[in-house]
Structures are given as structure tokens and as C-alpha cells.
A and B are shown apart, each in its own frame.
Chain A
Amino acid sequence: MNEIETDLLDAAIERGRIRLDARLQTLSGKPEYPDTAYALPVTYALTGIAVRDAEGAREAYRQSGNNLLVACECLMAAEGAVEPPYTGFIPDTVLRQLGYTLVDGSVIGLGLIVGRPESPDAAAAICREMQEKYLLTFLAGGVVEALSGAGVRLGLEYRLVPLGPESARGIHFADILARIAMMFGGVKPGDASALLVYAAERAKAFVIVFPGLTDEEIAFVDSLRALGMPILTVDGGYRGGEWIPVASGEAVQKGMDLRGIRVTITAIPIPMACSPAFEGKSIRKEEMYVEFGGGRTPAFELLRTQPREEVEDGKVTVIGPEVDDVPAGSALPLAILVDVAGERMKPDYEPVLERRIHTFINYGEGSWHVAQRDLIWVRLSKDAVAKGVRIRDIGTLLAHKLKMEFPDHIEAIQVTLVTDRAKVEELLPQAREIYKRRDERIAGMKDDDVEVFYSCTLCQTFAPNHVCIITPERPALCGAITWLDARIAHEITPSGANQPVEKGEVIEALRGEFAGVNRFVKKTSHGETERVSLYSIIDYPMTACGCFECIAAIVPEVNGVLIVNRDYRGETPLGMTFSTLAGTIGGGAQTPGFLGIAKSYILSERFLQAEGGIARVVWMPTSLREELGDRLRERLAAAGIPEMYEKIADEVTAPTIEDLIAFLERVEHPALAMKPLI
């Protein structure tokens, strides 16, 4: 945009402003609207003044700081009514109906079209698109005639409302917005900032401008920007200022993108049904047309964040053969590359979204997916392929489902499916690098690195006063939610079960007691629990609901801690089974000496930190030790006690407390020599 062009629009705006100002100063008619409780609504909303005459108009204009919208409205209100098919000012009763559709979601946004289009057909196309996308459109100016001439039906019932023959009638768009804000939005007259907030967040609107505006109309349209509306100019009409030039075919989408208006699509355009009902359906060898991965061919899936300009929303590309290029029963290599872009998207969220690929492909009736990352195995059934399903359709499915599930994080998504062997093999090492880096990142995330933990109250149905505090080094006790999962869950559903917990001041670092955590727990446990030490089993340990994977319990006789998992049905040396223990420690009560935990927490450095760490563990069932396997060995090695793996007793070496004491003494277990637990 060159300087001269910028100046052109700005100059027109300035000229228009001067003329409007002058006209208002000499206004003599009576500015009023019929059938409304809001006087001159824009003026009323912005200034709190109910204008009834020209003097009042001037006073309001002054008080508003010479706001052009006020001026335009006062001038228009003195003009009088218009003839049908134009609506002019819309009465409150009709407006209530329109406002209803905005609140109930039948209408997802508002648009104003002004000016006179050079091509009526282009304008008609724009209107059609707005209708299809559930927008309520208001028209002012020559565009009305042009559309009628092109055979487009106008009226409230078509959601194309002809306000008046001059573009200046677009001021009614502003008074509609102002009234909706006051009627439904609780905006009080005179509270200008509340009006702006409402306009920005609830009544998402944009303006499309065709050529043919007078200077005053240009000034008027420009002043709509104050209500948060982007001004899009079409047909190369106006250049400069803050107005955004667009091609007419892109205007609607651009307006929707700028205001964050999204249509929720429910039908996916592929020849295959897609629903959770098909999730468990597997495709047997005889039923399969083609398969990918599963050991037969290389295959992997990868979701990455990309810059917005590099992602073409909805684009699906296939590189390599399609499924109907190979005979039934074949195997092809596959790389599923999903690129997403969004202001709120973060690389940390990639694995969370990537995990959904598995579920969504299984929703397809005729597609099947197993595992993740570079271990995937995918099949398409003969039935599906006969109905026309191709690998491309899997891409379309993923693009739609992912966007539907994460509408606030994914602004654009594109999927590339690579079935060319050479290309897949070329991309595989890069994918593996990314997986490795992610693992290191999560493993490397420390509690000290973050200021905010997350809570989970999902289990409060069963344990009304229990709240889990989830940290990077301590997942939820059910084992299902990591700190990252909780964070993204909170972003998606801010009022949901995962809430941010400010750490606050560190009260005691070794035990992990934080002032902010205490405050939060006290509130969400309804006063039941006042203090929590995140890293201790003795002093104010975290409460438990009932769905923990394991229980850690102190064994005072040997100064240690035993761990028993839910799957283990037998006795522990304490003389209590998992069930018995669970019955006494669950329900949201704080039970010193006992913890309900996730299996993965056993491997965390914070587990039993206040009591000396993993060296305290004296007993766990063989099944649990085997399950933790090498990871446990690595953890013990990292703690400097690799030999401890054999020193942890189990139900075979120590079924009773006496056996346990004897065993631990024999192997010289470190816990025996540590500080007494109680």
C-alpha cells in the first residue's frame, strides 16, 4: 500500500467527518425512532443519554467526544421512515426475534454490506455464502437494488435484511448491535466499554464494502471499526486506512476468520460413515482391501504445528499410489502427516492431538487403526473401498474430526498422506527425531519449571471432597492425566474439571508444600483438607478418591513403604489386601502414612522425596515390578542404588510381615538404616 493511497482514504474519512459534524450542528428536525425503548440506541448505549431533540443530539455528541456513530445516528433518526422493501429502523419486538437467533446459535455472526457492487452476481454469491454459513446479513445502499435485480430474495426470513437505499442506512446495523447488547448482554446504557466488549465477544460482525460511498458514508463505515468490526473492501474499491482489500470470493471467509466465527460441520464429505459406534470394529485379513504398517511396510503418523501461512485449511494431499492402484490384499507404506496452525496451538500439545488420530480413524466404518507413532497398523476394508473410500478420505476425516474437536486451537489443518516408499523412508528418521525430542521434553519437565499446577475434580462424584493436584512430575492418581493433558483440557473447557492452581509461595520445598496449593485445596475440598505436601507420605499427604492405580503404605516395622497395585488380589505383609486398604484410605480423607498413586509416579523423583525417595520402597507384587521393569532399573540406577532392584521384596519372598523383616535384614535394605518414619 503506498502513501498516496493511504492518504486517499484517510482524506475522505476526514472530509466526511467534517461534513457530518457540520450537519449535526445545524440539525433542526426531531431525531427519534418509533417502537423502541432505547431512544437512539447507539447514542444511548455509548452516552447514557436518551436523545429526544436536536439540542439533546448535539449534547450527546459532545459528551461522546464527537463520536461519529452518534452523529450519524442522530442525523438518520431525523430523516424519517423508508418505504418497503426497505426496513429502515427495526422495532424492538422484531429485534428480539433476531437477537434470539443470535443467542441460540441459529445465527453465528452478523454482516453488513454497503455500497453498489459492479457485479451483481458477485454480490449474490457473497450473500449466498453468508446464508450457508449461518450469518445474518444487513444490506444498505445500491447493493439492495443490485441483488433484487439479480433475482436474490431479500427479507428477514432469508436473513438478508434490506435496511435502506443509501449506505448511510447502515447505521441501523449499529443500533441493532447496541440494542442486542442492552437487551441480552446486560450492557447498561452509558457503559461504552461494556458495549465494545459485548460487540467483540458475542455479536461477531464484519463489514463488506462495495464502491460508491459518499465521504460521509466512508467516515461512518470507518467509525464502525470502534465496535470491533473489520472493514473489508471488495472490487478494488477503497484502498488505505485500516480497510482490508479482499477478492469478492474470499470476503466472507476472511471476515469470519478475522472475527473467529466458525461453523461446526457435522457431516464429513467422504463415502464412509463415521461414528464412535464403529470404534471397536476390527477388520480381519479376509475383509481387508489394503493395509499399511503393522510390520509389513514402514508407516508412521506425525502431527506438527506450522506457521499459519504454510497451512492451507482443509487441503488433503496424497503422494504416491492410491488404494485402487493396488490389488486387494496388498500392503502399502504410509506416512500420515497432519499440519495444524493456530494462535493457541503449542508444540507441547502435538502429542495430545496426535493421540486422537487413532480414535478418529477407528470411527470410520471401514477403517481401522492400531498403536501410534512409528508402530501404526492401518487397514481399509473391501466394503469401504468398493463404496469409493480412498486413503485421501482418511485425510479428510482427520482434518474434519480434529478441527471439530479442537476448534479453539486449530485455525487451519492440512493432511498429507504419503504412500510412496522412498518418500516414507526418507521422512521416517525425521519423525523419530521428533518423537525422541518430545519424550525428552516431557521427561525433562520439572515442577520447578512451572508456576501453575492443575487440579482434577473428575472423581468428586464418588469422593466429594477429593481433589488431585497434578504437577509435571506427579500425574493424577488414576494414571490417566498428565500435567500437559490437564493444561490442554483446561484450555478446551475452561469451566471444566481441570483448573489451574497457582503454586504461590513455597512453604517447604522438600515436602512440597505451597501456599497457593493449600489455598486451592482448602477451597475445593470444602474445608476438609487444609494442607497438602505434594512429595510426602507422612505429613499432610494428598487425599485419594478411589480410582488410584496403586497404594503406597508405610510399614513401620521396617521403616519402609510398600506398594500394592489394583490388579494384585492377594495379601500384603500389612495383613491388608488392596481392597481393604482402598476402603480406608479413599473417599477424600487425608490419611498420613498412605497414598493413592499412579503407577508412573513410582518412577518420579518426587515420589517419597520428603522421606528419602525410592530407597524407602521395601515390597511390591512381582507383577508390578515386572511391569515397571527396565524403567524401574533406570530409576534406581539414577538414584545411585542399582542393586536395590533385587532388594525389594514381593509376595513370593515375603508374604508376611515377619518374612519381610527377615528378608530385608538379610539383603541389608537401605530403608532399615534410614531416619525413622514415625
Chain B
Amino acid sequence: MSENSPDKLAIREVRLGATRAEGGTREVSYVIGGDRGLPFCGNDAGRRLVALEICDDPAIWPPVVRNYVGDLVNNPEDWAQAAERRYGADLVRLNFTSTKKRGFNAFADIASTTERVLEATTRPLIIEGSNDPQVDSEVFRRCGEAGEGERLLLGTAEADRYRSVAAAALAYGHLVIAQSPIDVNLAKQLNILLRETGVPEDRIVIDPYTGALGYGFEYSYSVMERIRLAAIAGDDDLAMPMISAPTDTLSIREVREAAPEEQDAMAVAWEFYTAYSAFVAGASVVCVRHPLTVERLKKVLEA
């Protein structure tokens, strides 16, 4: 199937995080990618990572997680630490949900929260900044600056608002999550745009957008398979590792309307089936929100 020599990597190797020797303060850095063929077919090289999502403003965070995690939601650095030490996550994805409020301008907090979470954790860090062209520039500059040298994975860049994420990556040595709306050609186009802006190819991670299971998940699944196949066939513009973050999962009706004593089980089952399938489709990093899901995924991956 592949036209490449057996030695050629289909997916580029991408390094997340930087240890002291590499210019950062992490205890470990991770290499993802490096695959030669289809996922789980004996060609895998890089890590498969499970990230736990946390946020700086839990107001719109899924209630089922708030209930399970308790007070931690009010303190991102404690939450991040628990993610690593108690829940077993390979790394944390810090969502700056505070930026969604209208008229957001607490930019200094972006910087300080980033610093505090970095200090509280030992692993690489994924940061989901803002999603609003009005504040993007300042938000990404702040977290980029605060994390300079740590090789953060910054998200998300989209076709019509990628410059600030790219600028932060270039200015402060970070990586970019390139997100497209479940379309192979748009994913490719965005990677080309980022490359033309100067972002090196080994600092891009593709996010083809993951819909929740039962709410369009199969579209995402197939796009991920197609991206992997394109990379195997030699398409350089799609030869990046993928990240899957089915963020809507815990707001779906099945979880919201489950009986209180069954809610955690439903949340975890839904997240688990989605996240695991994303790995099978070729994702290198999958983000989940319920701590119990992390444990179950890690168990399967280690087997």
C-alpha cells in the first residue's frame, strides 16, 4: 500500500514539552508520531497520550465532572496536580474558559495561571487559549510568554484565526494544534497556511475536530483514518500526529439525563468508547474530562 521505503516515517515525530536539558522545566518530554503504517498494526513508535482537561473557570464545565472532582475545580494548579498524581493522566489540557465571558480582559491572569500550573506539574502542558479574535492576540501572547521554553502545545488554530497561535508558537517556541471542521482538504490547507507563516512542520498537531459519540463521531473517525492513509501514501502536508478532544461528550443528553447514581458510569463509558476509538483511528493524544476515564484508557494502552 505504501509507496515509501520501509524506513520512511509516515507520521512526523513531534516532541511535546521540554526537560531541563531541553530548555524547559518538565521532568519528561513526550515524542508522539513516528508511525510508519496503520495504527496498532505493528508500526507504532511514538507515545499514545491521555490528557485530562481542566479549566480556569468551571462555570460551564460539565456538572458530572464538577461533582466528581469537587473543590479542585476552583484551583487549576491543584486540579492539574491531581490529574498527574491521582488520576494518572499523561498530561493536562488547561482550558482558559474564562476567556469566553463577554468583555474578557484579565490577561494578566492568563499569564499567572499558566505559570502556576506549570509549576504544579511535571509533565508537558496543553493549553487551550481563547476562541475569540478580539482577545486571541493578547491571550496567546501571554500564555506563550509565560511558558517560554516549555514547548507547550497551544490550541486551537483555525483557518480564519490562526495567526495568534502561530505567532505565540514562533515567538516562544511552542507547538500548534491545527483544527479543521472534519474535512481532510481543509486540514491540509490549514497546515499549508501555518507552514507559510513559518511554523515548522514538526511543531504542528492536527485536530480534525471530534464530534461526540452518537452526535457525529463517525465523521471524525473516518476523517482521522483518511488523514492517516494520506500520510502513509506520502502526503507531507498531512503527516502530523493527531489529537482528539471530543469536548461535547459530557454535555449530551444521555449523560445529563442519567440517574444521579449512574451518571459517572455513563460519562465514563461514553468517553471511553469515544477516546479509545479515536486511538484506533490514529490519534496520538486524546483528551477526556472525567478522571475515571483516564485510568481505564491507561490500563488498555499499557496492555
> Are A104 and B200 neighbours in the complex by a CB distance under 8 Å?
no
A183, B170: Cβ atoms closer than 8 Å = yes
If A96-B172, A527-B233 touch, whether A104 touches B185 (CB-CB below 8 Å) is no
Nearest A-chain residue to B192, judged by Cβ: A495
A512 CB to nearest chain B CB (Å): 26
Among the 9-residue stretches A51-59, A274-282, A432-440, A457-465, the one with 4 or more Cβ atoms under 8 Å from chain B is: A457-465
Q: How large is the interface on A (under 10, 10 to 19, 20 to 34, 35 or more residues)?
A: 20 to 34
Contacts of B230 in A (CB 8 A): 526
The contact string, 1 if C-beta is below 8 Å from chain B, for chain A 99-120, is 1111111100000000000000
Name the residue of chain A whose CB is nearest to the CB of B225.
Answer: A464
Interface 1/0 per residue, A71-103 and B, CB below 8 Å: 000000000000000000000000011011111
Quick check: is B114 within 8 A (CB to CB) of the other chain?
no
CA distance A106 to B161 in the complex (A): 12
In Å, the complex CA distance between A464 and B235 comes to 14
Distance in Å from the Cβ of B158 to the closest Cβ of chain A?
Answer: 14
User: In the complex the two chains form, is A186's CB within 8 Å of B185's CB?
Assistant: no
**A103-B170, A103-B197, A184-B170 known; A461+B184 contact, CB < 8 A:** yes
Cβ of B216 within 8 Å of any chain A Cβ, yes or no, is: no
Nearest CB to that of A184 among chain B residues? B170
Inter-chain CA distance A362–B141, complex, in Å, is 39
User: Which B-chain residue is minimally distant from A457 (CB atoms)?
Assistant: B185
**Complex CA–CA separation, A157 to B163 (angstroms):** 20
Which partner residue on chain B sits nearest A96 by CB separation?
B171
CB closest chain-A residue, reference B226: A464
Query: B183 at interface (Cβ–Cβ under 8 A)?
Result: yes
Q: Which residues of the other chain, A, contact B192 by a CB distance below 8 angstroms?
A: 495
User: A185 at interface (Cβ–Cβ under 8 A)?
Assistant: yes
Let me know if A104 and B140 touch, CB within 8 A: yes
Interface of B is mostly: helix
Is B198 an interface position by the 8 A CB rule?
yes
Q: Check B164 for interface membership: any CB of A closer than 8 A.
A: yes
- Is A101 within 8 A of B197, CB to CB? no
For the complex formed, measure the closest distance between the CB of B112 and the CB atoms of chain A, giving whole angstroms. Answer: 18
Cα distance A103–B167 in the bound complex, in angstroms:
5
Task: Tell yes or no: B137 within 8 A of A by CB.
Answer: yes
The 8 A CB mask of B139-173 against A (1 = contact, 0 = none) is 01100110000000000000000011011101110
Interfacial residues of chain B within 126-148, with CB under 8 A of chain A in the complex: 136-137, 140-141, 144-145
Residues of A within 8 A of B145 (CB): 96-97
B135 to chain A minimum Cβ distance, whole angstroms, is 12
Given A100-B141, A103-B198, A184-B198: A461 in contact with B185 (beta carbons within 8 A): yes
B residues touching A (Cβ–Cβ < 8 Å)?
A: 3, 136-137, 140-141, 144-145, 163-164, 166-168, 170-172, 183-185, 188-189, 192-193, 196-198, 200, 226, 229-230, 233
A-B contact pairs, 30 of them (CB 8 A): A96-B145, A96-B171, A97-B145, A97-B171, A99-B170, A100-B144, A102-B167, A103-B170, A103-B197, A103-B198, A104-B140, A104-B167, A105-B163, A184-B171, A184-B198, A186-B198, A202-B198, A458-B185, A460-B185, A461-B183, A461-B185, A464-B226, A493-B189, A495-B188, A495-B193, A495-B196, A497-B185, A526-B230, A526-B233, A527-B233
